[in-house]
Amino acid sequence: TRTQVAIIGAGPSGLLLGQLLHQAGIDNVILEQRSADYVLGRVRAGVLEQVSVDLLDEAGVGARMHREGLVHHGIELMFSGERHRIDLAALTGGKSVMVYGQTEVTRDLMDARREHGAPIVYEAEDVALHGFDGHAPTVTFRKDGVEHTLACDHIAGCDGFHGVARASVPVGAIRQFERVYPFGWLGILADVPPVSDELIYANHARGFALCSMRSASRVRLYVQCSLQDKVEDWSDERFWAELKSRLDPATAERLPTGPSFEKSIAPLRSFVAEPMRFGRLYLAGDAAHIVPPTGAKGLNLAAADVRYLSRALIEHYADKSDAGLDDYSRKALRRIWKAERFSWWMTSLMHRFPAGPGDTGEVGHRMQTAELDYLVHSQAAMTSLAENYVGLPFEE
Ligand code: FAD
Ligand code: DHB
């Protein structure tokens, strides 16, 4: 079989790219190693920038998001036992973010693809990429024990951090930049109302905490934990007690609690692979970069890559011009490094760093408190936070 664009991975990057190409009349096949249920079962991002919302609208999958998503005009920072509101809208000329889970975005994109009948192969085994340095790339895979070869013009590597696309590039052709943080995030989902209408990011001597939500009756909560911790070490009782200890007494007092129905630990890393194009292979989303989750940028960066890549592929077919494809990596990386910087900064500002070299331990905590105190009293500093949080503009 043959298609125009072979897409590896059915996470948000792959599904969104497939949808935008399909709308432009460009044939594509998505190959995903997991099942649809497995993909939908992964609990991840919850905050969409305005530009990601716009892109989902453009892709024709925004209806349910506008009905069920929560528009947030501010966030709260908590430190030294006090809450401070950052008025995102006032600081950015009216911009906001949308609280709508990655699971829901994925479901909407899957539904759209099913409606169009565009091909997607779940549980594709041993996906392998060939010939992308020439003009006739192919992708081989096995489905239900049968070997298949898919011929294509282009391959989009949308297969996440542990995917096969980046790993297929010769080591000499790629540079990788990485920083691993000395802690993780323990996250839970619970069907209780949020303690506040807006997200609370807390800096506390016991460690970072984040009160987020999925709806008016479902919360997503995180506490900084040790990398040695296992999910089994964290009973619901221990989780709620730890979260409360990191909030101011009034908020802790009012915090609705209940049984969790999802609990997982995520490591934190900053990672960028350069470049993002190798002949006719293009990387997008987590396949090319990872941010620590503190700035809520991961899914949004994936959408931004897909925006640039889809426009470049459409230009390639419609105008017979490769200008967009030739410029894809440079343009995407310029925006990615700014989001990497913001996510690294917000992570550094909000977490407890174990004592060691640099601004860690007690000194580090004092420095953070001083920076936060400066931040919430400086219009300039708050504006910088706000314009990054709602999302930086695109280069056209
Ligand atoms: P993925 O979602 O990883 O999808 C890649 C797909 O490729 C997967 O389905 C995988 O099964 C498939 N695949 C892998 N290998 C192969 C193979 N060999 N063959 C075929 N298919 C393969 N981002 C935000 O913007 N805001 C947030 O609030 C936020 N919070 C987060 C919280 C947590 C706890 C975590 C873990 C992440 C968070 N993120 C957040 C990041 C966000 O979830 C990711 O950036 C996003 O999932 C990237 O999408 P993707 O499609 O590029 O990659
Ligand atoms: C969520 C995750 C984040 O990393 C963040 O900064 C805000 C919200 C969430 O899962 O809801």
| Mean pLDDT, rounded, for 285-310 | 98
Q: Among this protein's residues, is 317 annotated catalytic?
A: no
**What confidence category does residue 294 fall into, taking pLDDT thresholds of 50, 70 and 90?**
very high
For residue 388, count other CB atoms closer than 10 A to its CB: 20
Q: Among this protein's residues, is 222 annotated catalytic?
A: no
**CA–CA dist 226, 280 (Å, integer):** 41
Nearest Cα to 96, choosing from 189, 199, 195? Answer: 199
Give the atom of ligand 1 at the shortest distance from the alpha carbon of 290.
45
Q: Among this protein's residues, is 293 annotated catalytic?
A: yes
Give the atom of ligand 1 at the shortest distance from the alpha carbon of 212.
28
Nearest Cα to 310, choosing from 169, 165, 156, 168? Answer: 156
Q: Which of 17-21, 56-60, 392-396 has the lowest mean pLDDT?
A: 392-396
**What confidence category does residue 22 fall into, taking pLDDT thresholds of 50, 70 and 90?**
very high
For residue 75, count other CB atoms closer than 10 A to its CB: 23
Among residues 154, 204, 289, 297, the one annotated as catalytic is 297
pLDDT value of position 395: 85
Nearest Cα to 336, choosing from 347, 348, 344, 326? Answer: 344
* Candidate from 72, 86, 220 with most ligand 2 atoms within 8 A of CB, to mutate: 220
For residue 189, count other CB atoms closer than 10 A to its CB: 18
Tens digit of each residue's pLDDT (9 = 90 or more) over 87-138: 999 999 999 999 999 999 999 999 999 999 999 999 999 999 999 999 999 9
User: Which residue's C-alpha comes closest to atom 9 of ligand 2?
Assistant: 46
pLDDT value of position 53: 97
Tens digit of each residue's pLDDT (9 = 90 or more) over 36-49: 999 999 989 999 99
Nearest Cα to 272, choosing from 175, 162, 156, 348? Answer: 175
**What confidence category does residue 35 fall into, taking pLDDT thresholds of 50, 70 and 90?**
very high
Q: Residues near ligand 1 with C-beta < 6 Å?
A: 8-14, 31-34, 39, 44-47, 102, 124, 127, 158-160, 162-164, 185, 187, 266, 285-286, 293, 296-300, 302
Tell me if residue 59 falls in helix, strand or coil. Answer: coil
Alpha helices for the chain (secondary structure H): 12-23, 36-41, 50-58, 63-68, 88-91, 102-116, 236-245, 249-254, 298-319, 323-350, 361-375, 379-390
**What confidence category does residue 389 fall into, taking pLDDT thresholds of 50, 70 and 90?**
very high
**What confidence category does residue 396 fall into, taking pLDDT thresholds of 50, 70 and 90?**
confident
**CA–CA dist 313, 325 (Å, integer):** 7
Phi/psi of residue 319, nearest 5 degrees: -110, 5
What distance in angstroms lies between residue 75's CA and the mean position of ligand 1's atoms? 24
How far, in whole angstroms, is CA 115 from its chain's centroid? 26
**Per-position DSSP letters for 192-245, written without gaps between them:** S--SSSS-EEE--TT--EEEEEEETTEEEEEEEE-TT--GGG--HHHHHHHHHH
Q: Are 100 and 48 in contact (CB under 8 A)?
A: yes
What distance in angstroms lies between residue 41's CA and the mean position of ligand 1's atoms? 12
What distance in angstroms lies between residue 160's CA and the mean position of ligand 1's atoms? 5
**CA–CA dist 250, 114 (Å, integer):** 48
Tell me if residue 329 falls in helix, strand or coil. Answer: helix
Among all bound ligands, the one having the nearest atom to the CA of 219 is 2
User: pLDDT > 90: what percent of the chain?
Assistant: 97
Tens digit of each residue's pLDDT (9 = 90 or more) over 137-176: 999 999 999 999 999 999 999 999 999 999 999 999 999 9
- Given a cut of 90, whether residue 204 has pLDDT beyond it is yes
* Candidate from 13, 35, 42, 44 with most ligand 1 atoms within 8 A of CB, to mutate: 44
